[in-house]
Amino acid sequence: MAELTTDRITTVQRDGLVLDVHDEGPIDGEVVVLLHGFPERADCWRLVAPLLHEAGYRTLAMDQRGYSPRARPRRRRDYRMTELLGDVRALAEAAGGRVHVVGHDWGAIPAWLLAMHHPDLVASLTAVSVPHPQAFLTSMVRSTQGLKSWYMLAFQVPFLPERLARTPGGLLDKQLRAAGMTADDVVRFRAEIVDDGALTTALHWYRALPLADPRLTRHKVTVPTTMVWSDDDIALGRWGVERTAHLVEAPYRFVELAGVSHWIPTQAPDALAEAIIDRARSTAS
């Protein structure tokens, strides 16, 4: 294992792409990698990160592929899970490895994959909203998850979501509000994703799903893991979350947040930070 770097990490470069990183908190603290989902960027952790800093942790929040301005390849195949995993692996290696990894929404997928395929780089995993990928895939046919995930199919249609996003207050904005996003965060979405030209490349995370190798997710996790889920999440149901425990062969905890929507990092930052810190401290020697 490489030693923890004491230089601030502002970017990660991989295959000609430059991913922006927000490196904050005590420089000598244990590293917590924070991975955002759709349709947000690294600043979705703005309320969680200071709480982690107060507890002595250093945070690396990365604007992921498709979101960072210098990391927006146009082909959907550049957003396959192997590429998403490679980016997060590069960040963990740049930090010296043995990092605590936290992922919300789509960010949970590369977090799960890193824990599956590179457990030597992961001290602990906190998955937020999205269960183990294999549990999620099974839930699509064994529960109502397929109905909840209707938008994943809609996002496959070229140009349609982009067209729906053109008008402020239009259908896409209304769908985000219906999912529990605040009016201020919808404004942030328009500024950071739509106006900044990141919508199409952010949607490529969904559009690359038909190109995914299903064998990539058929592994159990062997690092200490916490699953955080909220019962007002209209996008992710309980079925897959409850079966995630069977796919973790390590200390495991399930944290359910009552009355919280899908947007846990901005709507329940204290509870989420507590879950992350508890999991990280549980791994201390």
- Tens digits of per-residue pLDDT, 33-76? 999 999 999 999 999 999 999 999 999 999 999 999 999 999 99
d(C-alpha 101, C-alpha 112), whole Å: 9
Concerning whether 15 is annotated as a catalytic residue, the answer is no
- pLDDT above 80 (res 137): yes
pLDDT of residue 2: 43
Q: Strand, helix or coil at 150? A: helix
- pLDDT above 80 (res 6): no
Average pLDDT of span 254-283: 98
Angle of helix 133-142 versus helix 108-117 axis, rounded to 10: 120
Give the confidence band of 284 by pLDDT, cuts at 50, 70, 90.
Answer: confident
> What percentage of residues in the chain have a pLDDT greater than 90?
95
- pLDDT above 50 (res 81): yes
E runs forming strands in 6-137: 11-14, 17-24, 31-35, 58-62, 99-104, 122-128
Peptide bond into 39 cis (omega under 30): yes
Digit-coded pLDDT (tens) for 102-136? 999 999 999 999 999 999 999 999 999 999 999 99
Domains of the chain: 11-281 (3.40.50.1820)
Residue type, 23: D
pTM > 0.85: yes or no: yes
Residue-level length of the chain: 285
Q: Which residues contact 55 (CB under 8 A, 6 or more apart)?
A: 273, 277
Digit-coded pLDDT (tens) for 220-245? 999 999 999 999 999 999 999 999 99
Provide the sign of the torsion angle of the four alpha carbons 196, 200, 205, 211, taken in this order: negative
Average pLDDT of span 207-216: 95
Concerning whether 36 is annotated as a catalytic residue, the answer is no
**CA nearest to 168, candidates 202, 192, 194:** 194
Catalytic-labelled residue, pool 87, 185, 206, 233? 206
Concerning whether 206 is annotated as a catalytic residue, the answer is yes
Residue type, 246: H
DSSP 135: H
pLDDT of residue 4: 57
- pLDDT above 80 (res 160): yes
Helix (H) or strand (E) holding 81: helix 81-94
- pLDDT above 50 (res 1): no
Catalytic-labelled residue, pool 23, 105, 173, 185? 105
d(C-alpha 253, C-alpha 257), whole Å: 13
